[in-house]
Amino acid sequence: LYENFKIVAGTDITFESLRYCKDNLPKNVMLVCCDAASVFRYRFDLIVTNPPYLPDEEYKKRFHESAIHGGHTGIETTLRFIKSAVSVLSQNGKMLIIISTLSDVSKMDELIIEMKLKRRTIREKKLFFETLTIVEISFK
């Protein structure tokens, strides 16, 4: 992204992830330790995220890993991100999100309708236990 855009910002709730990025990205990439996009006031033309999307079922809670578990049904982190990021998405902007068939994607579709957004599938990759999909979300 930093090769194609003038302003690039990244967020993560894990400081260690940001430290790794800081050590491996150019200095002009802004990195912020926060949840989703809540700290930004600037409008972005493109927002990209690969949120944790695996369900955090009861038997897995003892192995909870915030980098991969996206909430009870796997979609809660994604929903929180969409709600946060839409406030900084430019009117003609696009949001790209990776989702999994292991998550309850119907909840995301309900939120998109409720927020009067539109969804388009960009690409799918079938794996032996799930399908990963890149979804584009934008204003109608």
Give the pLDDT confidence score for residue 59 in this predicted structure: 46
Give the pLDDT confidence score for residue 88 in this predicted structure: 92
Q: Please report which helix (H) or strand (E) contains residue 17, including its range.
A: helix 15-24
d(CA 133, CA 34): 25
Give the pLDDT confidence score for residue 64 in this predicted structure: 58
Give the pLDDT confidence score for residue 38 in this predicted structure: 75
d(CA 51, CA 34): 14
Cβ count within 10 A of residue 81: 21
- What's at 79, amino acid-wise? L
Contact 34, 9 (CB under 8 A): no
pTM metric for this prediction: 0.85
Which regions in the chain score pLDDT beneath 70?
57-68
